[in-house]
Amino acid sequence: MKLIKQVLDYNKVFKIPTPDTPKLLPTQIWDIRQEALKQEIEDQHSAWVERDINKVTLTICNSIYSLVSLACESGLQNHLEKCLDELHRAKMSNVDENGQSVILNGEIIQSALFTPPNINRILDNDHNS
């Protein structure tokens, strides 16, 4: 995935560690990253309130970039694409017997056919490979 490579380049230049295996970040670093993400969500909302599609686009891109950077900093760069594929598979399983989505008041309702993503399987398989 091109974005992962770009983020890894960024992390290297700015001396942000990117371990080879998944790990939890220290609490202090995690808290800093979470506060930054909260600020980005607030910036998205402000851009939407301003009705500025350019700012909305920039804030969405910035959030995606920050989340990929966080994933790399957590050692997930070699697993992220498979994890996203698994998440997509799970989301697509959320249909009724006729293959249709069920939406109520703008919210997707979980169907009986939904199967949650199995991220453990991916991390365990990749770790043991």
Going by pLDDT thresholds of 50, 70 and 90, the confidence category of residue 102 is: confident
What pLDDT, on the 0 to 100 scale, is given for residue 124?
Answer: 87
Does the pLDDT of residue 129 top 60, yes or no?
Answer: no
**42-99, pLDDT tens digit by residue?**
999 999 999 999 999 999 999 999 999 999 999 999 999 999 999 999 999 999 899 9
Q: Which two tokens stand for residue 105?
A: 């008041």
Q: Which of 17, 128, 16 is nearest to 79 (CA)?
A: 128
For 102, the 3-state DSSP assignment is: coil
The three state secondary structure string of 60-81 is HHHHHHHHHHHHHHCCCCCCHH
**Residue 24 DSSP symbol:** P
**Matching residue, tokens 């970039």:** 65
> What are the tokens at 12?
């290297």
**73-104 burial by CB neighbour count: b if 16+ within 10 A, else e?**
bbbbbebbebbeebeeeeeeebeeeeeeeeee
Which residues, in sequence order, are bridge partners of residue 104? 107
Beta partners for 76?
Answer: none
- Topology adopted by domain 2-78: putative ntp pyrophosphohydrolase like fold (1.10.3420)
Looking at the chain, the domain(s) classified CATH 1.10.3420.10 span: 2-78
CB count, 10 Å around CB of 7? 25
Residues 16-33 pLDDT 10s: 999 999 999 999 999 999
